[in-house]
Amino acid sequence: MNRQERRAAAHQQRKLDRKAGFPTVPSAVPELNIPEPGLPLPSLDSITPPAKPPISEARLEANRRNAQHSTGPATPAGVAASSQNRTVHGLARHNGSFRLIPVEKRDKFEALQTELAEEHQPTTPTEAILVNSMAESLWLAQRSQSLQETCIDFITGQVKDAKMFSLYLRYQTTHTRAFHKSLNDLIKLRAEKRKSEVGFEAQNRKEEELRIKNEQHEMKKQSQYWEVLHKDAKACHQLTMNLMQQSAARKENPNFQAEFEVELAKHGAKPSTWACAEAAA
């Protein structure tokens, strides 16, 4: 009777037991001395576990001797060899490090590293770590895919070892996701770096524009100042020329002062103002 038939028979027996009202079946497990449910609740001390069968002294001594032989490797060489146990396919990282299996060529892996480094041009240690992680994850994903071929019969196309094929497929998915995660982290890191650089450049450009604006404002103030001085100088020069003309006219015409004051009165000007200006000159 195979496993499926046994399970069907057990299922049929359970159905018959349910119809018969669950008859009491003697159990091979020793019963515990558990009081009936109800109040007051019994204490845990009243529950007596089943007694364990006694162990002989010979058996106990044999267990002690066997325990002395199962402590693991004691020498450094033994520990190093033991750390490499279950290194069958190399798809899992050993102690956090990446390794090539004997059938793989290191120059091809280094060529993959070089191609990725030339494509992404890492400029910081963090970017170099991400690019190297991309190379390792891609290499492990390709290794998983090649190992899947060992589980397939190329003549019939059938999977010969479904368990190992599923394992290799799971590792391929894991390392493919790790590759894309490292790539996305690299893109995100560079985007943040570029954003910071753009913000710094914008701040410098804003400060430079403010400096130029202040300089232009200062130049405008200086220009206005010299323009006012130039106008004052021209007014003073014109006043001086007028006073000189009046002095020359008085010398030529003795009645010039009286005529001049009459002209001033016509225009509503005070003679004293002009007299003060002439005295100052």
Q: What are the structural domain ranges in the chain?
A: 220-280
Where does residue 185 rank: exposed (0-12), middle (13-18), buried (19+ CB within 10 A)? middle
Radius of gyration of the chain (CA): 53
**105's tokens:** 């060529």
Give pLDDT, residue 85.
42
The Cα–Cα gap between 64 and 46 comes to: 34
* pLDDT tens profile 183-234: 999 999 988 888 887 776 777 787 888 888 888 888 888 888 888 888 888 8
H/E element, 269: none
* pLDDT tens profile 96-149: 678 888 888 899 999 999 999 999 999 999 999 999 999 999 999 998 998 888
Neighbours of 74 (CB within 10 A): 8
Single-letter amino acid code for the residue at 158: Q
Whether 266 shows a pLDDT value over 90: the answer reads no
**67's tokens:** 């325990």
Among 150, 190, 154, 188, CA closest to 167: 150
Cα 49–55–58 angle (5° rounding)? 170
Q: Taking the chain, what is the end-to-end CA distance rounded to the nearest angstrom?
A: 141
Give pLDDT, residue 40.
61
Give pLDDT, residue 11.
86
* pLDDT tens profile 148-178: 888 888 888 888 888 888 988 998 999 999 9
**231's tokens:** 């106008």
pLDDT band at 281 (very low <50, low <70, confident <90, very high): very low
